[in-house]
Structure 1
Amino acid sequence: MGLPMLKKLQLYIQLTRLNKPIGILLLLWPTLWGLWFAAQGMPPLKELSVFILGTVLMRSAGCAMNDYADRDFDKHVERTAARPLTSGHISGKEAIGVALVLTFFAGMLALTLNAVSIKLAFVAAFLAGSYPLFKRFFAIPQAYLGIAFGFGIPMAFAAIRGELPALAWWLLLANVFWTIAYDTEYAMVDKIDDLKIGIKTSAITFGSYDVLAVVCCYAAFIGLMAWVGVSQGLSLPYFVGLIIASIIAIYHYGLIKNRERGACFKAFLHNNWLGCAVFSGTVLAFIK
């Protein structure tokens, strides 16, 4: 493989953020919650593998589409100005091509699931593809992102049970609040730039109440997950996981309360451990 090809591969990796897996993890944790709740324990290996690989593919495709949609905005934002598409190192056609190829393979994976899951896969693809547009007009696009990032939950129930019980939607709602919390922290990093270019984010919409909004969303997320645990009769480890998640959320408050860019970004990245804590408690609670 020649040097030009290696360089192009590196640019595609940057385009799809495979070099920055935090987005994959934030998408994966709620999907894994859904799988474990749906199966009431360890899900079948086939479904587990399909959902993990599908998460990686769809998140990568979403990044490519997001960069294409934001190509004229990213150049005005300090954090995103050097992205491959914005900086001109790859073309818009290449970005769309990468997104379509990744979506195709994700679709092939979805076809190995049952009919209900396949139908929901089309909804998931629409959510992922349309999210970048919501930043143009929707006051809190992070809520829409929460639905897109959490749609693996109802898909997991469809794949495991062939139905969509109320539990799936409660878990999805909880994930929406978690997503608003961590993506508002993320938006706080770019708030000054976003105000200049006219992008809508929750950090701008909440204004001086942005920190309070993040705290309230964390509280709503923990509260809903606790209610789910009680309603399902889960054992102590699940609630220990939620307590650890609550402590992590309090730590995040300490990071973002002064609205410093670096600290807000650190809080955003640290949400991986919050999701991991909830998942760990869920796994332990379902061990017979």
Structure 2
Amino acid sequence: MTAASRPDLSDINLDDWVERRLPRAWRPYTRLARLDRPVGIWLTLFPCWAALIQASHGFPDIRQLLIFSLGALLMRSAGSTVNDIADRKFDGHVERTRFRPLANGQINILQALSFLAVQLALAASLLFFLSPYTRLVAICVVPLVFIYPLCKRFTHWPQAVLGAAFNWGMLMAWAEVAGHIPLGAILMWAGAIAWQIGYDTVYAYVDVKDDTRLGLKSTAILFGRHGKAIIGVFYGVAVGAWALGGWLLGMSLPYMLGILVIAAHLAWQTGRIDLVRPEVSYRLFLANILTGLLLAGAAVLGTL
């Protein structure tokens, strides 16, 4: 299929920098790691940075910032590879995912598994730079990374599992910087999970017709026509958890002003949700990059 006939909802642009600038052999692996679509990387990084800032009560150590940034990049990329391996027989039948490398036959399963092994090995190498306690916390997330792609077969809540795994770096940040994980940090992590259930449900509405036809499950299918209100509730839970968590962590008053800005932004998003317009859902999903940036900014304000 040519770029001209590419469906508007495809998450791969067949005329982007990957096609124009990279050697042909590199392209499928770049897409498998989602380096051409870095939104997920930013959505992983910003909450992790926020936790590092809060745990450090100021600008984090450059070494820690670099290690956690690389870790978020590698684990997000590895998680995407695991997801595409698990969904390779479904992705070809979904409008948004039909051009992914495994779905369209650009690479085979053995090549994808070999690439995954390299990603995991690189991520594991970072553990040598972390404390024993942080390594233990890090290892605990591995089952979630592999379970998530299978969840859509048996539960309507894969977004919750993804949220727990996606934001695990927040717990690791506290383990590394403070040597323990306080209640406030757990609340911040729980808030990030609620936020992700909200924005990933918005994203799931893009695929709801294809997922229903294929017998897959998601929060979008579960919420149905009530999705707008329920997403708003999850956004409200996120804001509340971040406010209470920040208070327990000793964040100063400007932090709460940052949380109010986040609340206003998420309220705006909720008001814009249109469940029957996938292109709007996709744009609102992307808008959460700003939410993550605001959370990291609020953490900075809270340490002043």
Same fold (TM over 0.5): yes
Would you say 1:70 and 2:107 are equivalent positions?
no
CA displacement at 1:258 relative to structure 2: 4.6
Aligned residues: 284
Q: What are the superposed Cα offsets for residues 69-123 of structure 1, whole Å, 9 maximum, x if unpaired? A: 0000111100000111100011111111111101111100012100011111211
Mapped contact 2:52–2:177 kept (Cα < 8 A) = yes
CA displacement at 1:234 relative to structure 2: 2.3
1:98 aligned partner: 115
Q: Tell me, what secondary structure is at the counterpart of 1:81?
A: coil
Mapped contact 2:184–2:246 kept (Cα < 8 A) = no
Looking at structure 1, the residues matched to 77 and 33 of structure 2 have their Cα atoms a distance apart, in angstroms, of 4
Looking at structure 1, the residues matched to 70 and 46 of structure 2 have their Cα atoms a distance apart, in angstroms, of 13
CA displacement at 1:164 relative to structure 2: 1.9
CA displacement at 1:20 relative to structure 2: 0.7
1:188 aligned partner: 205
Tell me the TM-score normalised to structure 2 length: 0.90
Would you say 1:128 and 2:151 are equivalent positions?
no
Q: What are the superposed Cα offsets for residues 196-233 of structure 1, whole Å, 9 maximum, x if unpaired? A: 00111000111221111110000000011111233334
Mapped contact 2:57–2:303 kept (Cα < 8 A) = yes
In terms of mean alpha carbon deviation, does 104-113 or 223-232 score higher?
223-232
2:246 aligned partner: 229
CA displacement at 1:259 relative to structure 2: 3.2
AA aligned opposite 1:22:
V
Q: Tell me, what secondary structure is at the counterpart of 1:182?
A: helix
Would you say 1:274 and 2:302 are equivalent positions?
no
CA displacement at 1:185 relative to structure 2: 0.4
Would you say 1:263 and 2:284 are equivalent positions?
no
Q: Tell me, what secondary structure is at the counterpart of 1:111?
A: helix
Looking at structure 2, the residues matched to 94 and 271 of structure 1 have their Cα atoms a distance apart, in angstroms, of 33
Looking at structure 2, the residues matched to 159 and 184 of structure 1 have their Cα atoms a distance apart, in angstroms, of 31
CA displacement at 1:240 relative to structure 2: 2.2
Looking at structure 2, the residues matched to 125 and 29 of structure 1 have their Cα atoms a distance apart, in angstroms, of 20
Would you say 1:36 and 2:53 are equivalent positions?
yes
Tell me the TM-score normalised to structure 1 length: 0.95
Mapped contact 1:189–1:262 kept (Cα < 8 A) = yes
Would you say 1:84 and 2:107 are equivalent positions?
no
Alignment of structure 1 residues 1-288 onto 2, 5 Å: 6-287=23-304
AA aligned opposite 1:215:
G
Mapped contact 2:156–2:217 kept (Cα < 8 A) = yes
Unaligned runs of 5+ in 2: 1-19
AA aligned opposite 1:161:
A
In terms of mean alpha carbon deviation, does 53-62 or 230-239 score higher?
230-239
**Percent of aligned pairs with the same amino acid:** 36
